[in-house]
Amino acid sequence: MQALYDFFPVLAFFITFKFAGMYAATAVLIGVTLAVALAQWIRTRKISAMLMIMTGLALVFGGLTLWLHNELFIMWKPTVVYLLFAAALLFSEVAGPKPLVQRLLEEKLTTDARTWQITNLSWAAFFVVLAAVNLVFVYRFSHDAWATWKLATMGIVFLFALAQGAWLSTRAHVVGE
């Protein structure tokens, strides 16, 4: 369900961008992100930390884009998101007894500490690469190409998650088996 929550704002942004341009798409992104947060609140009486962060970043970067009429703010948002993810993953390596990925998945999977560390660092590196590629699209390609890249990253993240899952399946055991 969380994946759908994450996908709706990006899809709404992309469709609006194709028909009405960057500023309309930015306004739609803000509105849809707020609507998704409200829907989650109505459904569960809480908003996940991830959705809170995404909503805050959409409001800040989207708001700056609309207020200052500068498209670079919304185009930089994915880079900031990816770098925040990478930083959280890397920080978890030194800030506690378990990497973040282990804390997120250990109720479902068990494996050794080295596997958790490799998985955690793989995700961190993946997000750093996504951040860098986003900047390449921001500064080297058209806005249309950037918007297409932004939509494509949803699939790329999904494929990376599948690859990580396949790798983990060879090294981990499902809890309860």
Q: Is 126 helix (H, G, I), strand (E, B) or coil?
A: helix
Q: Would you mind telling me the total number of residues written for the chain in this entry?
A: 177
Q: Does position 82 have pLDDT exceeding 70, yes or no? A: yes
pTM of the prediction?
0.90
Residue pair 100/89 in contact by the 8 Å Cβ criterion: yes
CA distance 150 to 160: 15
| Residue 80 identity | V
Residue by residue, DSSP assigns 71-113 as THHHHHHHHHHHHHHHHHHHHHHHHSSS-HHHHHHTTTEE--H
Residue-wise pLDDT for 4-21, tens only, equals 667 899 999 999 999 999
- For the chain, how big is the Rg over CA atoms in Å? 17
- The C-alpha torsion from 142 through 148 and 151 to 155, rounded to 10°, is -120
Domain spans of the chain, in order of start: 1-68, 71-177
Tokens of 123: 């995700």
Q: What local confidence, expressed as pLDDT, does residue 5 receive?
A: 67
- When the pLDDT of each residue in the chain is averaged and rounded to a whole number, the result is 93
* Residue from 80, 122, 84 nearest 101 by CA: 122
